[in-house]
Amino acid sequence: MKRDKEDEKLAKMLKQHSAQPEPNEWFTARVVNRLPERRRSLRWLMPLVYLVAFIVCLVICLCYVKTHVQMAVTVRDVLYFAVMFAVTLYLGCQLVLDIVHDD
């Protein structure tokens, strides 16, 4: 609470003592008119990369478990699977976040 009051006090002080621009109703229109045309971005590229990497990691995990884990589970097996699981989980989370936060 104390920090919020200090932030408000600082913001108010900066607003009072800073140089304010002269009002110009055409400024915004001129700036917008001078902006380059909006290009279509490749917003689908990163979710696609995350999806492919997620699927590759998932397949590697499943193949490793199927081929290497037999009766005895070694420490190496556990560590490898833990790392691959963490990477796969991270990629899945990034995929979801990238889709959700797509502007």
Q: How far apart are CA 85 and CA 6, in angstroms?
A: 45
**Domain ranges in the chain?**
2-100
Interacting residues of 91 by C-beta distance below 8 A, sequence separation 6+: 50, 53, 54, 57
Would you state the pLDDT for residue 3? 66
Alpha helix ranges (H) inside the chain:
2-17, 27-34, 45-68, 75-100
Q: Tokens for 49? A: 């990369």
Per-residue pLDDT of the chain (103 residues; tens, 9 = 90+): 566 788 888 888 888 888 777 777 766 777 777 777 776 676 777 788 888 888 888 888 778 777 766 667 778 877 887 888 888 888 888 878 877 776 5
pLDDT of residue 37: 76
Around Cβ 95, how many Cβ atoms within 10 Å? 19
Which of 86, 87, 94, 89 minimizes the C-alpha distance to 47? 94
The C-alpha atoms of residue 49 and residue 29 are separated, in whole angstroms, by 38
For the whole model, what pTM was predicted? 0.48
The predicted structure's pLDDT at residue 69? 65
